[in-house]
Structure 1
Amino acid sequence: MIRRAFLVALAAGPILAACSFPPTTMTPEAVEAFLATPLPPGRRDLRTYTEAGIDRLVLLRLDAPEAEADAFAARLIPDGLEAGVDPGLGLLSTSFEGWIATPPEGSFGGEAPYDGRRSVKVVVAPAEPGWRRIWVASFTL
């Protein structure tokens, strides 16, 4: 019985893998539409990673001037970020270049449900003087 269940699971793996789409990137305009908020105007080094299937996962990383980064984070997490909070971003991607396994020292983090069917997780950390690095994960539930 166990052997049969193992063989069924082994056969189902490739079928299930075929049902998901490969990761892609998004334009800044598409990211803004998905997040329903504008990206920081002074941003640089925007990197995106998405996975789509039944649900959608959007990961992004960017640098922005401090005030613009803080305003962007406040639009995504209206209740504010907390020092040292790890909203679990490291669990969401291992293949996205520039993604974090754990929040860097001096970072702020938070998460919030967004419009009932979506969740947003954010970490903001110091980058070079006057700049912050932002990691955002947004996914449909």
Structure 2
Amino acid sequence: MRLIFLHSEKNPAQKGGRFSKSRGPHKTRLNHLTMNTATQCIILLACAAVCTSSTPILNCRCVKTIRAVSAKLIARLETLPPRPYCNKKELIVVLKDGSSKCLDPEGKFAKAIEKYYRDQAEKTSTAGPKSTATPRATARATARAKARAASSQ
């Protein structure tokens, strides 16, 4: 009789029909939530480790650099300092045909070009607005101004 009692639906140990305490739907959901939270924490820690690692993920514009380019072809120079996503200084030369080349920032040519453009920027910022007049036209204007001043006296 005991054998029959254990296999019957009315087992007093089950107290609720098919779901016992150890296999109830609320336990399954709780285990699922716990695993989901644990997975999220592991992913968060992995992302934090990657973001704060000493070796940054390189996303630089200059993958390949050259030593020099003809100075006659250069239209302008772009200098990019080290950034959070690229840990090196980059010198990008934009050529007159619109293409761009990356210079090795440690090379002699790159240092000379950078110095030249820096000096040009300082000259234009300290010189004020540029006059479009030629030196000969400026001399004529000065002579006229002197003549007017002399005739008015």
Greater percentage in helix: 2
Normalised by the length of structure 1, the TM-score is: 0.25
Q: Which is greater in Rg?
A: 2
Normalised by the length of structure 2, the TM-score is: 0.24
